[in-house]
Amino acid sequence: MSSHSILASSRIAVLGYGSQGRAHALNLRDSGLDVVVGLRPNGPTSHKAKADGFTVLEPAEAVRGADLVAVLTPDMVQPALYREAIEPNIKSGAALLFAHGFNVHFGQINPRSDIDVILVAPKGPGALVRTEYERGRGVPCIWAVHQDASGQAEAKTKAYADGIGGGRAMIIKTDFKEETETDLFGEQAVLCGGASELVIAGFETLVEAGYQPEIAYYEVMHELKLIVDLFYEGGLSKMLDFVSETAQYGDYVSGPRVVDAGVKARMKDVLTDIQDGTFARNWTAEYAAGLPNYKRLKQADLDHPIEQVGAKLRARMPWLQPNTAPAAVAPLKKAG
């Protein structure tokens, strides 16, 4: 029997057809499972799912016939989707699967007690989940069971992870609390918030000291990819192998001056806001209010000088747009 045999005669409804939704649906189908896609009719993703050969149903109808419902829509639309399409229609003993535990962990969704509530989260973007599957490999997944009504929730969770290719790589057990809180912390303190603020502060420091913005951009934004790729491929050890001894010495003596104990203490404050629900409450209220602060803060980032300089420089780097014809670009202003 295959590892996903518990789902062999099940119908899986995938709600959402973005990056992860499409990858999951295609991989599950290629694993021999019965998949329908639940979407609003005539939306852009509806046409894409139909072009990929899926039966596309209204979300409520997709849920009605499903043994497992995978919720792969953005976090903030999930509570309404659950109330309107899932809760009235999901059958007793079916499984409700998430790829991120935010809404369940923070009580935005309180699932019915007669269904399984499970989580499978690939540790990579949807495009990678798909291409690795097509190569006969897989992306590692983390998995969790929040509620086991059927007595088979764990088996269903592992079978779904296998169906999208995770079992070919590695699956790691977690719980909704750990997955949600570590995911939010990583985004806020390091990957998105921390990294972008570090880059902007470095750019401003150089420009304010009189250096050319173009040079500053290359040093603190452009070259970051080289270092991140080394981290990704081989951790700190590979990065240290590939940079110069001068760079290594600068790392050892200056890194801790910039990211010091105060930074770690403030990271702990960020984590506390995540753990006690402050961030979730603020984000839910912000979304409900129509995103005024979100839009203002996003625009401030887009208007920052590093973006103006970067757009001009990236236009000179055709390898960043491999499928576009050469474009006419305005000459850069000479420093003087």
Same domain, 136 and 67: yes
Same domain, 152 and 295: no
Q: What total of structural domains would you count in the chain?
A: 2
Same domain, 200 and 163: no
In a domain, 85, yes or no: yes
Residue list, annotated binding site: 17-20, 40, 45, 126, 183, 187, 219, 223, 244
222 an active-site residue? no
End residue of a domain, out of 121, 149, 174: 174
Query: Which one, of 37, 153, 142, lies nearest residue 95 by Cα?
Result: 153
Predicted local confidence at residue 336, as pLDDT: 44
Same domain, 168 and 50: yes
Same domain, 146 and 68: yes
Residue 282, domain extent: 191-318
pLDDT 10s digits, 182-199: 999 999 999 999 999 999
> Of the listed 4, 24, 100, 146, which one is catalytic?
100
Same domain, 109 and 196: no
In a domain, 257, yes or no: yes
* Predicted TM-score (pTM) of this structure: 0.92
Query: Which one, of 187, 177, 179, 145, lies nearest residue 275 by Cα?
Result: 177
Residue list, annotated binding site for substrate: 244
Same domain, 196 and 285: yes
* Ranges of residues in the chain whose predicted pLDDT is under 50: 1-2, 327-329, 334-336
CATH of residue 66's domain is 3.40.50.720
Predicted local confidence at residue 324, as pLDDT: 59
Same domain, 235 and 156: no
In a domain, 313, yes or no: yes
Same domain, 294 and 221: yes
Range 327-333, long-range pairs (CB < 8 A, 24+ positions) = 332/214
Same domain, 31 and 158: yes
Same domain, 207 and 279: yes
